Amino acid sequence: MSQAVAIAPPRQRPVSGLGLLIVALVISVAAYVTAGLGLRGHLPRDAVVYSVVFVAASVAGWFAVRWLAPRTDPVLYPCAIALAGLGIAMLYRIMAARGQPVIAREQAIWVLVGIGAFAATLWFLKDDRRLNAYTYTIGLAGVVLLLLPVIPGLGLEINGARLWASVGGVSFQPAEFGKILIVVFLASYLADKRELLAAGVGPLGLPRAKDLGPLLLAWGASLAVLFLERDMGASLLFFGVFVVMLWVASGRASYLVIGAVLFAIGAYLGYIAFSHVQDRVDYWLHALDPSTVHGAGYYQLAQGWFAMATGGMVGTGLGQGSPTLIPYVASDFVFAAFGEELGMLGAVSLLLLYLVLIARGLRVAMERFDDFGKLLATGLTTILALQTFTIVAGVTRLIPLTGVPLPLVSYGGSSRVATFVMLALLIRVSSGPLERRHG
């Protein structure tokens, strides 16, 4: 376990982010109101209550940032609020059209829970380096959460994958929180082993055989997740994050090459082992074939493409399209709904919000001088980047669908809360220890 390294005083940021937060709130509330007007021709019945509660909770979160992490990057929190607000607006539009607006309200409540968890994380974790003292405890807890769905009586299988666990009548996805703990563990472990991992042999600087152990161990762990939970998305996401963090820790591109080879092998093993993975690949290859387009999985992908084509450049308008023709539009295909009703401009704007969030996260990593903070920010940002890429690439048929949620936008309470916790950790890394404010 590496010793704590003093952090150089972070560059003072005069911008508080309040102006950006106001813009994010205006966009969020306007989207919710516009969705109701487009769908029903009148304001949603709970428009005033929703707007007041959402604005109040978001401003409270901003005050928590200003009080507990005053020197943080001012863009991170407003970007997250904008994405969360747009997600709730689209979910309301979809669920209201299906006669289930209560589901959208439940997701709005999960946003409030997420903001509460965000503030609590900042309050209890006043110095991210304290996590470095619990390397293996945190790693063990992360593994337990990842494998919780395979425990008989707790795990639930949905659509061929065991991602859910039910405790006391409450269902959640423990892997959403497990991956955060795994990133913390990897940041601590790799920071401690950085000099060893950076050593290479030969003119290409290939890693030594004994240094391949962590890579092979992570590969084996990802395969365990794949075969025990039957979830290709979580398995490949976990391994992809590890390879990126290993590359950053060692500075050697050879780890990326070896990781890519192992990634391909793992994906192939998953393909030959599970019929639902084979089905997803077949849907991806033949979604628009006349002979298959009306099949269940093919139909969903085809409708996603038709929806985005219908939206054109500027979209049909919120509430004016037909995204409910896509069976799983609230989860896997919410990006297609944005493409239909906001058009290419709206879909690209949504992606730009993610791009800004990811770019600022990588900037946070670059500004840190200690290995642990740098790797922690890199890992958290990589999770957001890989999740966004895999779901958007799946909807647009660049790759087969993997089933991971679009952060802060797709249906899923566990994902929303976990993403806000990741955001809090990233903000803590960006701001540095709270005690420096007084000393």
pLDDT band at 384 (very low <50, low <70, confident <90, very high): very high
For residue 253, the one-letter residue type is A
pLDDT band at 207 (very low <50, low <70, confident <90, very high): low
Instruction: Give pLDDT, residue 12.
Output: 54
More confident residue, 178 or 201: 178
pLDDT band at 332 (very low <50, low <70, confident <90, very high): confident
Instruction: Give pLDDT, residue 142.
Output: 85
Burial class (CB in 10 A: 0-12, 13-18, 19+), 95: buried
- Helices 101-124 and 413-431: crossing angle in degrees, nearest 10, is 30
For the chain, domain boundaries: 18-437
Mean pLDDT of 193-213: 64
**Percent above pLDDT 90 for the chain:** 39
- 350 token code pair: 């949504």
**Rounded to an integer, what distance in angstroms lies between the CA atom of residue 115 and that of residue 412?**
15
| Least confident segment among 125-134, 164-173, 358-367 | 164-173
What would the pLDDT profile of 134-173 be if each residue is shown by its tens digit? 888 888 888 888 878 777 767 666 665 667 777 766 777 8
The edge-to-edge listing of strands for the beta sheet with 161-167 is 155-158, 161-167, 170-172
Burial of 240-277, coded b for 16+ CB within 10 Å and e otherwise, reads bbbbbbbbbbbebeebeebbeebbeebbeebeeebeeb
Helices assigned H by DSSP within 296-333 = 296-311
Question: Is residue 157 classed as helix, strand or coil in its secondary structure?
Answer: strand
Q: Which of 351, 299, 295, 292 is nearest to 328 (CA)?
A: 299
The number of C-alpha atoms within 13 Å of 285 and in the hemisphere containing its C-beta is 6
Residues near 205 by Cβ (< 8 Å), separated by ≥ 6? 252, 254
Q: Which of 350, 355, 356, 315 is nearest to 335 (CA)?
A: 350
| Least confident segment among 117-126, 338-347, 405-414 | 405-414
- 164 token code pair: 């859910």
pLDDT at 9 over 50: no
Instruction: Give pLDDT, residue 4.
Output: 45
Instruction: Give pLDDT, residue 343.
Output: 94
State how far the alpha carbon of 333 is from the alpha carbons of 177, 205, 338, in Å.
Answer: 23, 42, 9
Instruction: Give pLDDT, residue 401.
Output: 82
